[in-house]
Amino acid sequence: MAVPIIIDCDPGHDDVLAIWLAAGNPDIDLRAITTVAGNGSLEHTTLNARVATTVAAIAGVPIAAGAAGPLTRKLRTAPHIHGDNALGGVELPEPTTPLDPRTAIELIVDTLNSSTETVTLVPTGPLTNIGQLIQEHPEVLPKVERIVWMGGSTTRGNMTAYAEFNAWVDPEAIDIVVKSGIPFTMVGLNITHQALITQDVIERIAAIGNQTSAFGVQLLRFFNSTYEAAEGMSDGPLHDPITVALLADPNVVESIESHIDVEVNGTYTAGATCIDIHDMLGQPNNVTVPIRLNVDRYWDLIVDAIAHLR
C-alpha cells in the first residue's frame, strides 16, 4: 500500500526533485504540497512548487502557501545556493498548476481530516508550518503517522559551525516539533552529503529524455555550480529527496534511534540539532536518525520516478 504523505517545502532545487520522486514513485501517495519561506521568499517558493508540478504534469495535488517567515525570527534565505528566486539556473515556465485558496495549515488540516488512514508529513524546509500546525490544531495530530524532516545534522553545519540551514532559519519550530511527541525522523547533513550529484548521475537523468529530466538536468548543473562556489564541492549533495526515498524504500537508509535537543538560544550555536548518539545524557529516544545511505538505490529511485513523469 502506498504511503500517504504531505510535502511541506521551500523549493529550492532539491525540493523539486523530492516532489518529483513523490509523484513518480508508486509506493508514495502524494496528497498535498504546502510551501514555506526558506530557500527563498514565500512568493518564490510557492511559484516554484507550482512550476515543479507543471513541468512534470503532476495533476490533482493541491498546493497551498504557508508561513512567510519563521515563528519569531527574521527570515534569512539562501540565494548563494539557490539563486535570487530560489530556483536559479533555468528559465521558469508560467505554471498551469493553480494555487489552492486555503492556507497551508488549512490544507494540511483538511487533508488529515479527510484521510481514512494516518498521513506522514514530509517537511523539506524550515519547520515553521509544522510548528504552527502543532500549536494551533492539536485535535488533528493523531492523524499524523510521523514527521520526516530534511534538516539538522549530527556533525557539521552549513550556515554556522553547528547549524544546518533549515534548522538555522527557525530553531523554535524544531523545538515545538521535537516536544510534540509525534514520531520524528531527522534527515541531516550527515547523510545527505552521501547523495552527491556526480556527472554519472546527471548523464543518467539526461538519458531519460523527457521534459522533466531536461528541466532537472538544468537544475542539478546549477546546484553543483553554486556548491562549488560556496563550499568547494564540485558534486553537490541532493538533500531533500532522501525524506521521500526512505518512505518509498526503508532499506535505502540505515538509521539509529537517539535523543535530540535543539539549541534556540546559543550565540554561536542557535539552530544546532544536538543528537546524543552515545547516550551521554541517558534521556529517552525521541528521534530516528538515518546515518548511512544506499547511494545506488537512492539514485535508482529518482531516475525511475522521473521516467514515469512527463
Which residue out of 239, 259, 278, 308 is catalytically annotated?
239
**H or E segment and range at residue 302:** helix 295-307
Residue given cell 540505515 in the structure block: 254
Region of 159 please: left (phi>0), alpha (psi -120 to 50) or beta: alpha
Q: C-alpha distances in angstroms, 29 versus 55, 61, 102, 274, 310?
A: 19, 10, 21, 32, 18
The angle, 0 to 180 degrees and rounded to 10, between the axes of the packed helices 211-231 and 295-307 is 140
Would you call 268 exposed, middle or buried from its count of C-beta atoms within 10 A (0-12, 13-18, 19+)? exposed
Told to judge if 82 belongs to the known catalytic residues of this protein, a careful annotator would answer no
Q: How many helices (H) and strands (E) does the chain have?
A: 12, 10
| Catalytically annotated residues | 239
